[in-house]
Structure 1
Amino acid sequence: MDLARASQSVNQVRKLLRAERQSGFAFDIPPRRRLELYRRGFLSASGVLYDFESNDPADYLTDYQRFVATKRINGHWNASIDNKLAFHWMLGEFPAHRPVVYGLLTNGRFHAFDPAAGRAALTDGGLGLERPSEAATGKPTERPIDWVDDTLSEGDRLVLKWFRGGGGNTVHFLERADGEYLFDGVPTVESVLGEMLADLEDYLVCKFVEQADYADELLADTANTIRVLTMYDHLAGEAFIPMAIHRIGTRDSAPVDNFSSGGLSAPIDRETGRLGTAAEYPRHGTVGWHETHPETGARIEGTSIPGWEEIRDRLLEIAETFSFAPYIGWDLVVTGEGEFRIIGANSYPDVASLQVHRPLLTDARTRRFYRDHGVV
């Protein structure tokens, strides 16, 4: 193992241990059982999330494998996938499936992007970004609050997200409603908002993506996204989907829909696009299961994603153009029948919200992919 790979492994083990410190001891698990989970490579949360009584633990991708081994699959392309701005520009070939990014907040300034620019030069080391010229952007940099005042109209919404990171912890929402600004739903006077925006470092400013009616009916307070895991099968020369889930927000998770923040995870039938029973993160010691939304009463189980076949097939086409990065977790917002926007991606996606429904390694093709990449 070379030094760079060894350093990466050590760093990922630290993240694994940090995850256990942050959430593991919230679960009432006997010490002996907890040590057994550690020995098998699982965090404490997995001992509650996964059905080890009905399924063989060996059929689950372990937390150690996810944190340490899957991180190696995409090699140096990890940096480009996990950098939200870089990945946005990598999707330049698919403008209909990426959101609008207006610019970047950094050093107390708003830096505008030229919508006609956003080109990317791919190199052996990853992504080389071409910076638009000052002439192309007109006004390349200004105070964030000045840009917001000039741009945000009544009823408009923006998404502010840190250029790295996931889990919804570094995402904010800004809108103008009834003549005032709302920052994460809280009325905020202009002077305070200006200070808050100036303090955001390396945050992308994006147009809010409006979700389709079916997703709005589940819960209108959050963007209810789809997480699709894709793998590229080098033998078959094609991408495939081992599992996909629909995240659904709750009032606890709002304004995001993340599973570990209190959102729901419903499995998607990969052939039909029909949702199954939704799982709720076991904050009180056991996984909750819901056929309907616990707050809105909207039907979850049996709900079909409009135009799922078109969405699935188009995403697979996109994944195949990224065959050099064979392992990606995609985050989609369905905007209409057969239409979607890719709002994010992850190079070594969390699998808890997937495997709460079934273990990944029971599928032979999925197991072979992980084996071929040295994960299992």
Structure 2
Amino acid sequence: MGVKRAYRTIAQARKLARAERRSGSSFDLSLRQRFRGYRRGFLSKSRVIYDFEAHDHEAYLTDYQRFLGTKRINGHWNALIDNKLAFHRVLGEFPTHRPIVYGLLADGRFHAFDPDGAFRNERAADEALEDETDGRGTVLNDGGVEPEQSSPSTRPTAAPIDWVDERLSNGDRLVLKWFSGGGGNNVSFLERRDDTYYYDGSPTSEAELDETLASLENYLVCEFVEQADYANELFPGTTNTIRVLTMFDERDREAFVPIAIHRLGTRASVPVDNFSNGGLSAEIDRERGRLSAAAAYPTEGSVEWHETHPDTGTRIEGTDVPGWASVRDRLLEIAETLSHVPYVGWDLVVTGEGEFSIIEANSYPGVASLQVHRPLLAEERTRRFYRYHGVI
């Protein structure tokens, strides 16, 4: 090994070791095993998750390549994807595929978004219309609703608990998520049942909820998307999302899907379905939309595979995503419309036969939950994409 190569290897190992310390992930590997992984570009978790006995190391996109390489693919357009509010506005061209974003929690207030942006819920819009017209659509005053007459739903800002108290009827749910970041972190769920508030599944008093909401900074308040029956049968305790990776092929001038997975929540992962939080990952056959057996994150040192869900007993392997071909093809149309952002990890919820909502996207998505099934670089088209963008 030359001096320059040895220096690069040591620098790479140091960066990966620091990243691992920051993440706090712990696997029962010797220092020698860890360094061997760092030298090849892999964190300790990848040495456990990936099947290096069946596949060569070079067939896998490494953690080092993912950290330093894929982040550069979209360039400054990363901000357009990773800022959830900006991305929501981008999806304005595809309104049937985006959930409603009602407003933002910041500075101890709820900031309602302009109704022209189609963010306001229908009930609030109806109430505002009734206030401003004589019931026949005639405007009574063109100055809008007077502040003292307006409700929390129609004011530009309000105390969060006031807005929630009016907005949330029994049986209603909302999603609260930080404007940036992924991995299921900084996401909470608010529900009202039998006139009691539930925050991430736990009952909370109105005073406690008031304090919690006022403390959330830069959190979007979003519509809760109801998943299709098949996903609810697999596991009803979480919204079970699909992660689809798309790449825009510069040579063929079209988007393609190198891999797609279905994430499934478990009792251990509630309230989210993320793989690293205890959820399951099943690969989706890209042509048929059929699920494989699902992998569980190796908290005990090795990957466990489940043909049926460990909590519900529902069959996973062989389950079909309803209308998968329509979902895939429509998502590819959207990816091609946004071809200036060539690398996207889409998170979507199937809501019916061939119908879906995009809940967010990622500009340099993690690959562990993908490559637990097979190495990404084993397919030449995918390898060519990463090579074109200087990742490998």
Q: TM-score, normalised by structure 1?
A: 0.90
Does residue 206 of the first structure (1) align with residue 222 of the second (2)?
yes
Partner residue of 1:83? 83
> Taking structure 1 as reference, are residues 219 and 241 closer, same or farther at Cα in structure 2, changes over 3 Å only?
same
Determine whether 1:30 maps to 2:33. Answer: no
One-letter amino acid of the counterpart of residue 80, structure 1: L
Displacement of 1:335 after TM fit?
0.3
Identity %: 70
- Report the Cα distance in structure 2 between the residues aligned to 1:335 and 1:68, rounded to whole angstroms: 35
Q: Which amino acid aligns with 1:50?
A: Y
Distance 1:118 1:78 in 2: 24
**Alpha-carbon distance change, 56 to 135 in structure 1, aligned in 2, over 3 angstroms:** farther
Does 2:106 align with 1:106? yes
Q: 1:190 to 1:294 in 2, by over 3 A?
A: same
**Alpha-carbon offset, residue 80 of structure 1:** 1.1
Quote the residue 1:126 is aligned against.
none
Residue in 2 that maps onto 1:5: none
What is the aligned partner in structure 1 of residue 339 from structure 2?
A: 323
Q: Distance in 1 between matches of 2:25 and 2:333?
A: 42
Is the partner of 1:193 in helix, strand or coil? helix
TM-superposed CA distance for 1:114, in Å, is 2.5
**What secondary structure does 1:61 align onto?**
coil
Change (3 A) 1:118 1:90: farther
Give the one of 236, 243, 246 matched to 1:220. Answer: 236
What residue number does 1:250 align with?
A: 266
Q: Which residue of 2 aligns with 1:286?
A: 302
1 CA distance for matches of 2:78 and 2:16? 18
Q: Please say if residues 61 and 376 of structure 2, whose CA atoms lie closer than 8 Å, have aligned partners that are also in contact.
A: yes
Aligned counterparts of 1:358 and 1:31: Cα–Cα separation in 2? 26
Structure 2: tracts of 5 or more residues without a match: 1-11, 120-142, 146-152
| Mapping of residues 1-376 of structure 1, within 5 Å | 17=17, 19-22=19-22, 26-117=26-117, 138-376=154-392
| Contact 2:13–2:39, Cα closer than 8 Å, also in 1 | no
**Structure 2 Cα separation of the partners of residues 336 and 89 of structure 1:** 24
- For 1:18 and 1:140, the matched residues in 2 are separated by 44
Does the 8 Å CA contact 2:295/2:306 hold for their aligned counterparts? Answer: yes
Residue by residue over 1:339-365, the C-alpha shift from the partner in whole angstroms, topping out at 9 and shown as x without a partner, is 000001000000000000000001000
2 CA distance for matches of 1:315 and 1:102? Answer: 24
| TM-superposed deviation, 1:172 | 0.4
Structure 1 letter corresponding to 2:219: Y
* Inter-partner Cα distance in structure 1 for 2:55 and 2:317: 23
Q: How far off its partner does 1:118 sit?
A: 6.2
- The answer to whether the 8 Å contact 1:24/1:45 transfers is no
Distance 1:330 1:17, change over 3 A: farther
- Give the letter aligned to residue 238 of structure 1: E
**1:116 CA drift (Å):** 2.8
Report if the CA contact (8 A) 2:288-2:324 is conserved.
yes
1:328 maps to a residue whose letter is V
CA distance in 1, matches of 2:13, 2:98: 33
The one-letter code of the counterpart of 2:384 is: R
CA contact (8 A) 2:13 2:41 kept: no
What SS is found at the alignment partner of 1:245? strand
Given residue 290 of structure 2, which amino acid in structure 1 is its aligned partner? R
Distance 1:23 1:142 in 2: 37
Which residue is equivalent to 1:130? none
Q: Is the 8 Å Cα contact of residues 15 and 67 (structure 1) preserved in structure 2? A: no
Q: Secondary structure at the match of 2:292?
A: coil
- Between the two proteins, the alignment pairs up a number of residues equal to 351
User: Cα distance 1:182–1:13, how it changes in 2: closer, same or farther (>3 A)?
Assistant: farther
Looking at structure 2, the residues matched to 219 and 196 of structure 1 have their Cα atoms a distance apart, in angstroms, of 28
SS of residue in 1 equivalent to 2:117: coil
User: What residue identity is the alignment partner of 1:203?
Assistant: Y
CA drift of 1:135 comes to 6.0
Decide whether the 8 Å contact of 2:246 with 2:345 is kept in 1.
yes
SS in 1 for 2:377: helix
TM-score, normalised to structure 2, is 0.87
SS of the equivalent of 1:53 reads coil
AA partner of residue 205 (structure 1): V
Paired residues of 2:98 and 2:359 also in contact (CA < 8 A): yes
What letter matches 1:287 in structure 2? Answer: V
Aligned Cα root-mean-square deviation (Å): 1.9
Deviation at 1:23, TM superposition (A): 5.1
Q: 3-state SS of the aligned residue for 2:88?
A: helix
Residue 16 of structure 2 contacts residue 38 of structure 2 at CA under 8 Å; is this kept in 1? no
Which residue identity lines up with residue 310 of structure 2 in the other structure?
P
TM superposition shift of 1:115: 3.8
The offset of 1:21, in angstroms, is: 1.4
Give, in angstroms, the shift of residue 311 of structure 1.
0.1
Q: Please give the per-residue CA displacement for 1:110-130, whole angstroms capped at 9, x wherever unaligned.
A: 0001243269xxxxxxxxxxx
Instruction: Structure 1 unaligned segments of length 5 or more: list them.
Output: 1-11, 120-133
Q: Which has the larger radius of gyration?
A: 2
Q: Please give the alpha-carbon distance, in whole angstroms, between the structure 2 residues aligned to 1:94 and 1:13.
A: 43
Change (3 A) 1:312 1:260: same
Q: For residues 93-150 of structure 1, what are the alpha-carbon distances to aligned partners after superposition, in whole Å with 9 as ceiling and x for unaligned?
A: 000000010000000000001243269xxxxxxxxxxxxxx96994100100000011
Which deviations, in whole Å up to 9, do the C-alpha atoms of 1:159-215 show, x marking residues without a partner? 000000111110000010011000111111101101100000000000100000000
